[in-house]
Structure 1
Protein backbone atom coordinates (compact mmCIF):
# COMPACT_ATOMS: atom_id res chain seq x y z
CA UNK A 1 0.00 0.00 0.00
CA UNK A 2 1.50 3.31 -1.05
CA UNK A 3 1.44 6.55 0.94
CA UNK A 4 -0.43 9.73 0.02
CA UNK A 5 2.77 11.47 -1.07
CA UNK A 6 1.49 11.41 -4.64
CA UNK A 7 -0.91 14.21 -3.64
CA UNK A 8 2.11 16.53 -3.58
CA UNK A 9 2.72 15.93 -7.28
CA UNK A 10 2.05 18.67 -9.81
CA UNK A 11 -0.74 16.65 -11.38
CA UNK A 12 -2.68 16.28 -8.12
CA UNK A 13 -1.95 19.84 -6.99
CA UNK A 14 -3.53 21.21 -10.17
CA UNK A 15 -6.43 18.79 -9.79
CA UNK A 16 -7.00 19.96 -6.21
CA UNK A 17 -6.97 23.62 -7.28
CA UNK A 18 -9.53 22.89 -10.00
CA UNK A 19 -11.81 21.08 -7.55
CA UNK A 20 -11.44 23.92 -5.01
CA UNK A 21 -12.41 26.44 -7.70
CA UNK A 22 -15.46 24.36 -8.66
CA UNK A 23 -16.49 23.95 -5.02
CA UNK A 24 -16.15 27.67 -4.32
CA UNK A 25 -18.05 28.57 -7.50
CA UNK A 26 -20.95 26.25 -6.75
CA UNK A 27 -21.09 27.47 -3.13
CA UNK A 28 -21.28 31.08 -4.38
CA UNK A 29 -23.95 30.24 -6.97
CA UNK A 30 -25.99 28.38 -4.35
CA UNK A 31 -25.87 31.38 -2.00
CA UNK A 32 -26.84 33.64 -4.91
CA UNK A 33 -29.96 31.55 -5.54
CA UNK A 34 -30.90 31.62 -1.85
CA UNK A 35 -30.42 35.42 -1.84
CA UNK A 36 -32.78 35.63 -4.81
CA UNK A 37 -35.23 33.45 -2.91
CA UNK A 38 -35.20 35.84 0.05
CA UNK A 39 -35.63 38.84 -2.26
CA UNK A 40 -38.60 37.16 -3.91
CA UNK A 41 -40.19 36.37 -0.56
CA UNK A 42 -39.75 40.01 0.51
CA UNK A 43 -41.31 41.17 -2.77
CA UNK A 44 -44.21 38.77 -2.22
CA UNK A 45 -44.75 40.19 1.26
CA UNK A 46 -44.85 43.73 -0.16
CA UNK A 47 -47.40 42.72 -2.82
CA UNK A 48 -49.59 40.90 -0.29
CA UNK A 49 -49.51 43.83 2.12
CA UNK A 50 -50.29 46.44 -0.55
CA UNK A 51 -53.14 44.41 -2.05
CA UNK A 52 -54.88 44.43 1.33
CA UNK A 53 -54.73 48.24 1.65
CA UNK A 54 -57.58 50.45 0.45
CA UNK A 55 -56.91 52.40 -2.77
CA UNK A 56 -55.12 55.68 -2.04
CA UNK A 57 -55.29 58.98 -3.97
CA UNK A 58 -52.38 59.28 -6.37
CA UNK A 59 -50.91 62.35 -4.63
CA UNK A 60 -50.56 60.41 -1.36
CA UNK A 61 -48.28 57.81 -2.93
CA UNK A 62 -46.62 59.40 -5.97
CA UNK A 63 -44.99 62.76 -6.55
CA UNK A 64 -43.50 64.48 -9.62
CA UNK A 65 -39.84 63.81 -10.32
CA UNK A 66 -39.39 61.13 -7.66
CA UNK A 67 -39.48 57.37 -7.96
CA UNK A 68 -42.03 55.43 -5.89
CA UNK A 69 -40.60 53.74 -2.83
CA UNK A 70 -39.96 50.01 -3.20
CA UNK A 71 -42.45 49.44 -0.39
CA UNK A 72 -45.15 51.14 -2.51
CA UNK A 73 -44.75 48.93 -5.56
CA UNK A 74 -48.07 47.23 -6.40
CA UNK A 75 -49.89 49.68 -4.10
CA UNK A 76 -53.36 50.43 -5.50
CA UNK A 77 -53.99 54.12 -6.22
CA UNK A 78 -56.79 56.14 -7.83
CA UNK A 79 -56.60 59.23 -10.03
CA UNK A 80 -59.10 61.32 -11.98
CA UNK A 81 -58.35 63.21 -15.18
CA UNK A 82 -58.55 63.14 -18.96
CA UNK A 83 -56.58 60.89 -21.25
CA UNK A 84 -54.38 62.52 -23.90
CA UNK A 85 -54.65 59.81 -26.53
CA UNK A 86 -52.46 61.73 -29.01
CA UNK A 87 -49.41 61.13 -26.81
CA UNK A 88 -49.91 57.37 -26.46
CA UNK A 89 -46.67 55.41 -26.05
CA UNK A 90 -46.46 51.82 -27.27
CA UNK A 91 -44.31 49.43 -25.22
CA UNK A 92 -43.15 46.74 -27.63
CA UNK A 93 -41.96 43.14 -27.26
CA UNK A 94 -44.30 42.14 -24.44
CA UNK A 95 -45.19 38.45 -24.74
CA UNK A 96 -47.94 36.50 -22.98
CA UNK A 97 -48.37 32.74 -23.20
CA UNK A 98 -46.03 32.64 -26.18
CA UNK A 99 -47.94 35.38 -28.05
CA UNK A 100 -46.21 38.59 -29.09
CA UNK A 101 -47.82 41.90 -28.25
CA UNK A 102 -47.53 45.41 -26.84
CA UNK A 103 -48.59 47.42 -23.81
CA UNK A 104 -50.44 50.69 -24.39
CA UNK A 105 -49.42 53.62 -22.14
CA UNK A 106 -51.60 56.74 -22.23
CA UNK A 107 -50.97 59.97 -20.26
CA UNK A 108 -53.77 60.91 -17.86
CA UNK A 109 -53.78 64.65 -17.18
CA UNK A 110 -55.14 65.32 -13.68
CA UNK A 111 -56.98 68.45 -12.51
CA UNK A 112 -53.81 70.22 -11.30
CA UNK A 113 -52.05 69.59 -14.62
CA UNK A 114 -49.74 66.82 -13.41
CA UNK A 115 -49.71 63.78 -15.69
CA UNK A 116 -49.98 60.17 -14.56
CA UNK A 117 -48.71 57.54 -17.00
CA UNK A 118 -51.24 54.72 -17.24
CA UNK A 119 -50.39 51.37 -18.77
CA UNK A 120 -53.90 50.51 -19.93
CA UNK A 121 -53.11 46.88 -20.73
CA UNK A 122 -51.82 44.44 -23.33
CA UNK A 123 -52.89 43.60 -26.85
CA UNK A 124 -51.63 41.00 -29.31
CA UNK A 125 -49.69 42.29 -32.34
CA UNK A 126 -47.10 41.03 -34.82
CA UNK A 127 -44.44 43.19 -33.09
CA UNK A 128 -42.73 44.00 -36.37
CA UNK A 129 -40.36 46.88 -35.71
CA UNK A 130 -42.02 50.27 -35.68
CA UNK A 131 -45.24 49.28 -37.48
CA UNK A 132 -48.20 51.40 -36.41
CA UNK A 133 -50.37 49.87 -33.68
CA UNK A 134 -54.12 50.43 -33.84
CA UNK A 135 -54.87 50.40 -30.10
CA UNK A 136 -58.42 50.65 -28.70
CA UNK A 137 -59.35 54.18 -27.64
CA UNK A 138 -59.48 55.06 -23.93
CA UNK A 139 -62.69 56.48 -22.42
CA UNK A 140 -63.41 60.04 -23.51
CA UNK A 141 -63.91 62.92 -21.08
CA UNK A 142 -63.21 62.72 -17.37
CA UNK A 143 -62.28 59.26 -16.15
CA UNK A 144 -61.28 57.77 -12.82
CA UNK A 145 -58.62 55.10 -12.99
CA UNK A 146 -57.54 52.57 -10.39
CA UNK A 147 -54.19 50.87 -10.86
CA UNK A 148 -51.05 49.32 -9.41
CA UNK A 149 -47.99 51.47 -8.76
CA UNK A 150 -44.88 50.44 -10.67
CA UNK A 151 -41.33 51.77 -10.65
CA UNK A 152 -39.69 53.07 -13.82
CA UNK A 153 -37.57 50.97 -16.10
CA UNK A 154 -33.92 51.91 -16.58
CA UNK A 155 -31.21 51.82 -19.22
CA UNK A 156 -31.30 52.05 -23.00
CA UNK A 157 -34.57 50.13 -23.17
CA UNK A 158 -36.44 53.27 -22.03
CA UNK A 159 -35.45 55.25 -25.15
CA UNK A 160 -38.45 56.47 -27.16
CA UNK A 161 -38.47 56.22 -30.95
CA UNK A 162 -41.52 57.12 -33.07
CA UNK A 163 -43.80 56.90 -30.06
CA UNK A 164 -42.66 53.50 -28.89
CA UNK A 165 -40.26 52.12 -26.30
CA UNK A 166 -39.29 48.84 -24.67
CA UNK A 167 -39.66 49.91 -21.03
CA UNK A 168 -41.64 52.67 -19.34
CA UNK A 169 -39.75 55.55 -17.75
CA UNK A 170 -41.75 58.53 -16.48
CA UNK A 171 -38.60 60.67 -16.65
CA UNK A 172 -37.91 59.88 -20.31
CA UNK A 173 -41.56 60.18 -21.39
CA UNK A 174 -42.02 63.41 -19.43
CA UNK A 175 -38.99 64.99 -21.08
CA UNK A 176 -40.01 63.69 -24.52
CA UNK A 177 -43.53 65.13 -24.23
CA UNK A 178 -42.68 68.23 -22.19
CA UNK A 179 -44.93 67.24 -19.28
CA UNK A 180 -44.73 67.33 -15.52
CA UNK A 181 -45.34 63.70 -14.62
CA UNK A 182 -45.67 61.66 -11.46
CA UNK A 183 -42.65 59.45 -10.87
CA UNK A 184 -43.26 55.84 -11.85
CA UNK A 185 -46.45 54.74 -13.57
CA UNK A 186 -49.54 52.63 -12.90
CA UNK A 187 -50.78 49.44 -14.49
CA UNK A 188 -54.51 49.69 -14.92
CA UNK A 189 -56.96 47.71 -12.82
CA UNK A 190 -60.19 49.52 -13.75
CA UNK A 191 -61.57 52.64 -15.45
CA UNK A 192 -64.78 54.54 -14.70
CA UNK A 193 -66.49 54.95 -17.12
CA UNK A 194 -65.30 51.75 -18.80
CA UNK A 195 -63.94 51.82 -22.37
CA UNK A 196 -65.84 50.58 -25.38
CA UNK A 197 -63.09 48.01 -25.99
CA UNK A 198 -60.85 46.92 -23.14
CA UNK A 199 -57.27 45.73 -23.34
CA UNK A 200 -56.09 42.63 -21.52
CA UNK A 201 -55.39 43.60 -17.88
CA UNK A 202 -52.09 43.45 -16.06
CA UNK A 203 -50.77 40.09 -14.91
CA UNK A 204 -50.05 40.16 -11.18
CA UNK A 205 -46.75 38.57 -10.07
CA UNK A 206 -46.91 34.95 -9.01
CA UNK A 207 -46.98 34.62 -5.23
CA UNK A 208 -44.63 31.67 -4.84
CA UNK A 209 -40.98 30.97 -4.11
CA UNK A 210 -40.10 30.15 -7.69
CA UNK A 211 -37.30 27.67 -8.53
CA UNK A 212 -34.56 29.37 -6.47
CA UNK A 213 -34.58 26.94 -3.51
CA UNK A 214 -34.04 23.85 -5.67
CA UNK A 215 -31.53 25.67 -7.91
CA UNK A 216 -29.53 26.56 -4.79
CA UNK A 217 -29.56 22.94 -3.61
CA UNK A 218 -28.46 21.76 -7.06
CA UNK A 219 -25.44 24.06 -7.08
CA UNK A 220 -24.39 22.91 -3.62
CA UNK A 221 -24.87 19.28 -4.64
CA UNK A 222 -22.54 19.78 -7.62
CA UNK A 223 -19.90 21.25 -5.28
CA UNK A 224 -20.17 18.34 -2.85
CA UNK A 225 -20.02 15.90 -5.78
CA UNK A 226 -16.77 17.48 -6.98
CA UNK A 227 -15.16 17.14 -3.53
CA UNK A 228 -16.38 13.57 -3.09
CA UNK A 229 -15.07 12.69 -6.54
CA UNK A 230 -11.66 14.10 -5.67
CA UNK A 231 -11.53 12.12 -2.41
CA UNK A 232 -12.58 8.92 -4.17
CA UNK A 233 -9.97 9.26 -6.90
CA UNK A 234 -7.26 9.97 -4.32
CA UNK A 235 -8.28 6.88 -2.32
CA UNK A 236 -8.40 4.81 -5.49
CA UNK A 237 -4.85 5.78 -6.46
CA UNK A 238 -3.66 5.24 -2.89
CA UNK A 239 -5.09 1.71 -2.88
CA UNK A 240 -4.37 0.58 -6.41
CA UNK A 241 -1.76 2.90 -7.81
CA UNK A 242 -1.94 5.33 -10.66
CA UNK A 243 -4.45 4.56 -13.32
CA UNK A 244 -3.05 2.86 -16.36
CA UNK A 245 -1.17 -0.36 -15.67
CA UNK A 246 -2.02 -1.23 -12.04
CA UNK A 247 0.43 -2.92 -9.68
CA UNK A 248 0.41 -6.67 -10.23
CA UNK A 249 -1.03 -6.29 -13.72
CA UNK A 250 1.26 -7.13 -16.60
CA UNK A 251 1.06 -5.25 -19.81
CA UNK A 252 0.02 -7.53 -22.64
CA UNK A 253 2.94 -8.58 -24.79
CA UNK A 254 2.71 -7.55 -28.39
CA UNK A 255 2.08 -10.55 -30.61
CA UNK A 256 4.87 -11.49 -32.97
CA UNK A 257 4.06 -11.67 -36.62
CA UNK A 258 4.18 -15.15 -38.02
CA UNK A 259 6.78 -15.97 -40.64
CA UNK A 260 5.22 -16.63 -43.99
CA UNK A 261 4.96 -20.28 -44.70
CA UNK A 262 6.90 -21.65 -47.65
CA UNK A 263 4.83 -22.52 -50.66
CA UNK A 264 4.86 -26.08 -51.77
Structure 2
Protein backbone atom coordinates (compact mmCIF):
# COMPACT_ATOMS: atom_id res chain seq x y z
CA UNK A 1 0.00 0.00 0.00
CA UNK A 2 2.84 2.42 0.77
CA UNK A 3 5.15 1.63 -2.14
CA UNK A 4 4.22 4.98 -3.70
CA UNK A 5 6.23 6.71 -0.95
CA UNK A 6 9.39 5.71 -2.85
CA UNK A 7 8.40 7.71 -5.93
CA UNK A 8 10.35 10.94 -6.61
CA UNK A 9 7.29 13.08 -5.83
CA UNK A 10 6.75 11.62 -2.38
CA UNK A 11 10.45 11.50 -1.59
CA UNK A 12 10.57 15.22 -2.36
CA UNK A 13 7.58 15.84 -0.08
CA UNK A 14 9.30 13.84 2.68
CA UNK A 15 12.51 15.86 2.29
CA UNK A 16 10.63 19.14 2.54
CA UNK A 17 8.70 17.89 5.56
CA UNK A 18 11.84 16.79 7.38
CA UNK A 19 13.62 20.06 6.53
CA UNK A 20 10.69 22.13 7.81
CA UNK A 21 10.47 20.07 11.02
CA UNK A 22 14.23 20.39 11.58
CA UNK A 23 14.08 24.18 11.19
CA UNK A 24 11.22 24.34 13.69
CA UNK A 25 13.16 22.22 16.19
CA UNK A 26 16.19 24.51 15.81
CA UNK A 27 14.02 27.58 16.35
CA UNK A 28 12.65 25.95 19.48
CA UNK A 29 16.19 25.24 20.69
CA UNK A 30 17.15 28.87 20.07
CA UNK A 31 14.19 30.07 22.11
CA UNK A 32 15.16 27.61 24.83
CA UNK A 33 18.62 29.21 24.99
CA UNK A 34 16.97 32.65 25.22
CA UNK A 35 14.74 31.34 28.03
CA UNK A 36 17.79 30.14 29.95
CA UNK A 37 19.64 33.44 29.41
CA UNK A 38 16.69 35.52 30.60
CA UNK A 39 16.12 33.22 33.56
CA UNK A 40 19.75 33.76 34.58
CA UNK A 41 19.24 37.54 34.34
CA UNK A 42 16.17 37.37 36.57
CA UNK A 43 18.07 35.25 39.08
CA UNK A 44 20.88 37.84 39.19
CA UNK A 45 18.33 40.63 39.72
CA UNK A 46 16.75 38.72 42.62
CA UNK A 47 20.13 37.86 44.11
CA UNK A 48 21.21 41.51 43.95
CA UNK A 49 18.20 42.60 45.99
CA UNK A 50 19.47 40.94 49.13
CA UNK A 51 23.17 40.69 48.36
CA UNK A 52 25.84 42.50 50.37
CA UNK A 53 27.33 45.29 48.22
CA UNK A 54 30.85 44.61 46.98
CA UNK A 55 33.51 47.24 46.27
CA UNK A 56 33.18 48.70 42.78
CA UNK A 57 36.70 47.62 41.82
CA UNK A 58 35.99 43.97 42.58
CA UNK A 59 33.03 43.92 40.20
CA UNK A 60 33.57 46.48 37.45
CA UNK A 61 36.97 46.78 35.73
CA UNK A 62 38.58 50.20 36.01
CA UNK A 63 39.07 52.13 32.76
CA UNK A 64 42.68 52.29 31.67
CA UNK A 65 42.54 54.92 28.93
CA UNK A 66 42.47 58.70 29.01
CA UNK A 67 39.62 61.18 29.09
CA UNK A 68 36.68 60.21 26.92
CA UNK A 69 37.46 56.48 26.99
CA UNK A 70 35.39 53.68 28.49
CA UNK A 71 36.43 50.70 30.57
CA UNK A 72 35.56 47.10 29.88
CA UNK A 73 31.97 45.96 30.22
CA UNK A 74 31.16 43.96 33.34
CA UNK A 75 31.06 40.17 33.20
CA UNK A 76 27.57 38.75 32.77
CA UNK A 77 27.47 37.44 36.34
CA UNK A 78 28.32 40.93 37.63
CA UNK A 79 25.36 42.66 35.97
CA UNK A 80 22.65 43.76 38.45
CA UNK A 81 24.87 43.00 41.45
CA UNK A 82 25.14 45.59 44.24
CA UNK A 83 28.35 47.57 44.56
CA UNK A 84 29.55 50.50 46.63
CA UNK A 85 31.77 53.40 45.60
CA UNK A 86 32.99 56.63 47.16
CA UNK A 87 33.87 59.85 45.37
CA UNK A 88 32.65 63.34 44.52
CA UNK A 89 29.83 64.22 42.14
CA UNK A 90 30.64 66.39 39.14
CA UNK A 91 27.86 69.00 39.15
CA UNK A 92 29.07 70.49 35.85
CA UNK A 93 28.19 67.37 33.87
CA UNK A 94 24.75 66.27 35.04
CA UNK A 95 23.02 64.12 32.40
CA UNK A 96 19.28 64.06 31.73
CA UNK A 97 17.84 60.96 30.09
CA UNK A 98 14.53 61.97 28.51
CA UNK A 99 11.49 59.89 27.68
CA UNK A 100 11.77 57.52 30.65
CA UNK A 101 8.62 56.03 32.14
CA UNK A 102 8.02 55.31 35.81
CA UNK A 103 4.56 54.39 37.10
CA UNK A 104 3.06 55.19 33.68
CA UNK A 105 4.45 58.75 33.70
CA UNK A 106 7.05 60.01 31.24
CA UNK A 107 9.87 62.08 32.64
CA UNK A 108 13.64 62.13 33.07
CA UNK A 109 16.24 59.98 34.73
CA UNK A 110 19.07 62.05 36.19
CA UNK A 111 22.63 60.77 35.99
CA UNK A 112 25.67 62.30 37.66
CA UNK A 113 29.32 61.28 37.24
CA UNK A 114 30.85 60.14 40.51
CA UNK A 115 34.55 60.99 40.24
CA UNK A 116 36.71 58.55 42.22
CA UNK A 117 40.04 59.19 43.92
CA UNK A 118 41.99 57.78 40.97
CA UNK A 119 40.43 60.32 38.55
CA UNK A 120 38.11 57.84 36.82
CA UNK A 121 34.34 58.15 37.11
CA UNK A 122 31.24 55.99 37.16
CA UNK A 123 27.80 57.26 36.15
CA UNK A 124 25.20 57.08 38.92
CA UNK A 125 21.50 57.12 38.06
CA UNK A 126 20.09 59.18 40.94
CA UNK A 127 16.49 58.40 40.01
CA UNK A 128 13.48 59.72 38.08
CA UNK A 129 11.92 63.19 38.16
CA UNK A 130 8.83 64.50 36.36
CA UNK A 131 9.07 67.12 33.63
CA UNK A 132 8.18 70.73 34.28
CA UNK A 133 4.66 71.84 33.25
CA UNK A 134 4.45 72.14 29.50
CA UNK A 135 5.03 68.62 28.22
CA UNK A 136 7.06 65.46 28.63
CA UNK A 137 10.21 67.16 27.29
CA UNK A 138 10.01 70.31 29.44
CA UNK A 139 13.21 70.80 31.43
CA UNK A 140 12.64 69.37 34.94
CA UNK A 141 13.57 70.75 38.32
CA UNK A 142 16.64 68.75 39.31
CA UNK A 143 17.61 68.65 42.99
CA UNK A 144 21.13 69.87 43.71
CA UNK A 145 23.93 67.39 44.09
CA UNK A 146 25.48 66.91 47.53
CA UNK A 147 28.90 68.46 47.87
CA UNK A 148 31.95 66.79 49.30
CA UNK A 149 32.56 63.10 49.57
CA UNK A 150 29.65 60.81 48.74
CA UNK A 151 29.26 57.07 49.19
CA UNK A 152 26.76 55.27 46.97
CA UNK A 153 25.35 51.76 46.81
CA UNK A 154 23.84 50.79 43.49
CA UNK A 155 23.12 48.06 40.96
CA UNK A 156 25.48 47.48 38.04
CA UNK A 157 23.43 48.32 34.94
CA UNK A 158 24.95 47.38 31.57
CA UNK A 159 25.24 50.15 29.02
CA UNK A 160 22.27 50.66 26.76
CA UNK A 161 22.49 50.75 22.98
CA UNK A 162 21.05 53.02 20.31
CA UNK A 163 20.01 56.61 20.78
CA UNK A 164 20.68 59.66 18.63
CA UNK A 165 23.73 60.99 20.43
CA UNK A 166 24.16 63.54 23.21
CA UNK A 167 22.99 67.17 23.29
CA UNK A 168 23.60 69.99 25.75
CA UNK A 169 20.57 71.99 26.93
CA UNK A 170 20.59 74.69 29.60
CA UNK A 171 24.04 73.61 30.71
CA UNK A 172 23.14 69.94 31.08
CA UNK A 173 23.87 66.98 28.85
CA UNK A 174 20.75 65.31 27.48
CA UNK A 175 20.25 61.97 25.76
CA UNK A 176 17.62 59.36 25.05
CA UNK A 177 19.63 56.28 25.95
CA UNK A 178 22.32 55.66 28.56
CA UNK A 179 25.00 54.69 26.06
CA UNK A 180 28.17 54.93 28.11
CA UNK A 181 30.64 55.20 25.23
CA UNK A 182 28.74 58.14 23.68
CA UNK A 183 28.48 59.93 27.02
CA UNK A 184 32.17 59.39 27.71
CA UNK A 185 33.10 61.54 24.71
CA UNK A 186 31.47 64.51 26.44
CA UNK A 187 33.25 64.08 29.76
CA UNK A 188 36.76 65.08 30.89
CA UNK A 189 37.68 61.73 32.49
CA UNK A 190 37.52 58.00 31.65
CA UNK A 191 34.28 56.20 32.48
CA UNK A 192 33.58 52.73 33.77
CA UNK A 193 31.88 50.48 31.24
CA UNK A 194 28.51 50.35 33.03
CA UNK A 195 26.46 52.66 35.24
CA UNK A 196 24.88 52.31 38.67
CA UNK A 197 21.19 52.44 39.59
CA UNK A 198 21.23 54.15 42.96
CA UNK A 199 19.90 52.15 45.93
CA UNK A 200 21.42 54.09 48.85
CA UNK A 201 23.52 57.17 49.29
CA UNK A 202 25.43 58.90 52.11
CA UNK A 203 24.45 61.71 52.50
CA UNK A 204 20.91 60.62 51.64
CA UNK A 205 19.51 61.15 48.17
CA UNK A 206 16.96 63.93 47.71
CA UNK A 207 13.39 62.61 48.32
CA UNK A 208 12.21 64.28 45.11
CA UNK A 209 13.73 61.38 43.18
CA UNK A 210 11.79 58.23 42.53
CA UNK A 211 13.75 55.01 42.37
CA UNK A 212 14.03 53.51 38.90
CA UNK A 213 12.49 50.03 39.06
CA UNK A 214 14.35 47.04 37.70
CA UNK A 215 12.00 45.00 35.57
CA UNK A 216 12.39 41.25 35.21
CA UNK A 217 12.75 39.87 31.71
CA UNK A 218 9.78 38.00 30.27
CA UNK A 219 11.44 34.60 30.14
CA UNK A 220 8.15 32.70 30.06
CA UNK A 221 7.36 34.23 26.69
CA UNK A 222 10.44 32.50 25.31
CA UNK A 223 9.38 29.23 26.94
CA UNK A 224 6.01 29.57 25.21
CA UNK A 225 7.79 29.94 21.88
CA UNK A 226 9.77 26.76 22.63
CA UNK A 227 6.56 24.78 23.05
CA UNK A 228 5.04 26.45 19.97
CA UNK A 229 7.92 25.62 17.61
CA UNK A 230 8.30 22.05 18.83
CA UNK A 231 4.55 21.51 18.55
CA UNK A 232 4.64 22.82 14.98
CA UNK A 233 7.41 20.31 14.19
CA UNK A 234 5.30 17.43 15.54
CA UNK A 235 2.24 18.65 13.63
CA UNK A 236 4.28 18.84 10.40
CA UNK A 237 5.40 15.21 10.73
CA UNK A 238 1.92 14.13 11.73
CA UNK A 239 0.47 15.94 8.72
CA UNK A 240 2.81 14.09 6.38
CA UNK A 241 1.80 10.74 7.89
CA UNK A 242 -1.90 11.58 7.68
CA UNK A 243 -1.70 12.62 4.02
CA UNK A 244 0.35 9.52 3.15
CA UNK A 245 -2.17 7.22 4.89
CA UNK A 246 -5.08 8.85 3.10
CA UNK A 247 -3.30 8.43 -0.24
CA UNK A 248 -2.59 4.75 0.52
CA UNK A 249 -6.22 4.04 1.42
CA UNK A 250 -7.41 5.80 -1.71
CA UNK A 251 -5.05 3.76 -3.90
CA UNK A 252 -6.30 0.55 -2.27
CA UNK A 253 -9.91 1.53 -2.87
CA UNK A 254 -10.71 1.62 0.83
CA UNK A 255 -11.87 5.21 0.67
CA UNK A 256 -13.72 4.93 -2.64
CA UNK A 257 -16.85 7.06 -2.70
CA UNK A 258 -20.13 5.16 -2.27
CA UNK A 259 -22.44 5.10 -5.29
CA UNK A 260 -25.42 7.40 -4.99
CA UNK A 261 -28.68 5.83 -3.93
CA UNK A 262 -31.31 5.74 -6.71
CA UNK A 263 -34.42 6.84 -4.92
CA UNK A 264 -36.58 6.20 -7.99
CA UNK A 265 -35.75 2.49 -7.88
CA UNK A 266 -36.92 2.11 -4.29
CA UNK A 267 -40.43 0.59 -3.86
CA UNK A 268 -43.11 3.02 -2.87
CA UNK A 269 -44.25 2.67 0.72
CA UNK A 270 -47.47 0.67 1.13
CA UNK A 271 -50.62 2.48 2.16
Q: What range describes the TM-score normalised by the shorter chain of this pair? A: 0.7 to 0.9
The equivalent of 2:95 in structure 1 is: 89
The equivalent of 2:39 in structure 1 is: 41
Task: Out of 60-69 and 91-100, give the one that drifted further.
Answer: 91-100
Matches within 5 A, 1:10-25: 10=9, 12-25=10-23
1:185 pairs with one of 195, 210, 233: 195
The equivalent of 1:262 in structure 2 is: none
Q: Which runs of 5+ in 1 are unaligned?
A: 252-264
1:100-151: CA deviation from partner (whole Å, max 9, x where unpaired): 343221212234432220112234559x999453142243213322111122
Counterparts of 1:125 and 1:78, CA distance in 2: 29
1:66-98: CA deviation from partner (whole Å, max 9, x where unpaired): 222222212212223332333222233433455
The equivalent of 1:75 in structure 2 is: 81
The equivalent of 1:109 in structure 2 is: 115
Distance change (3 Å), C-alpha of 1:98 and 1:140: closer
Task: Report how many residues are paired.
Answer: 244
The equivalent of 2:210 in structure 1 is: 200
The answer on 1:167 being equivalent to 2:177 is yes
Question: Residue 86 of structure 2 aligns to a residue in which SS?
Answer: strand
Distance change (3 Å), C-alpha of 1:21 and 1:103: farther
Query: Are the counterparts in 2 of residues 122 and 201 from structure 1 also a CA contact under 8 Å?
Result: yes
Counterparts of 2:13 and 2:73, CA distance in 1: 51
TM-score normalised over the length of structure 2: 0.74
The equivalent of 1:261 in structure 2 is: none
1:21-52: CA deviation from partner (whole Å, max 9, x where unpaired): 33122201111121112222333443444444
Counterparts of 1:121 and 1:135, CA distance in 2: 13
Counterparts of 1:21 and 1:90, CA distance in 2: 51
Counterparts of 2:136 and 2:12, CA distance in 1: 55
2:128 pairs with one of 118, 122, 125: 122
Distance change (3 Å), C-alpha of 1:37 and 1:6: closer
Distance change (3 Å), C-alpha of 1:207 and 1:25: closer
Question: Residue 108 of structure 1 aligns to a residue in which SS?
Answer: strand
The equivalent of 1:258 in structure 2 is: none
Counterparts of 1:100 and 1:4, CA distance in 2: 67
1:151 pairs with one of 158, 161, 165: 158
Distance change (3 Å), C-alpha of 1:219 and 1:8: same
The equivalent of 1:260 in structure 2 is: none
Question: Residue 202 of structure 1 aligns to a residue in which SS?
Answer: coil
Structure having the higher strand fraction is: 2
Q: Which runs of 5+ in 2 are unaligned?
A: 64-70, 261-271
Counterparts of 1:189 and 1:140, CA distance in 2: 16
Pairwise CA RMSD: 3.3
Query: Are the counterparts in 1 of residues 24 and 233 from structure 2 also a CA contact under 8 Å?
Result: yes
Distance change (3 Å), C-alpha of 1:123 and 1:4: farther
Counterparts of 1:75 and 1:188, CA distance in 2: 12
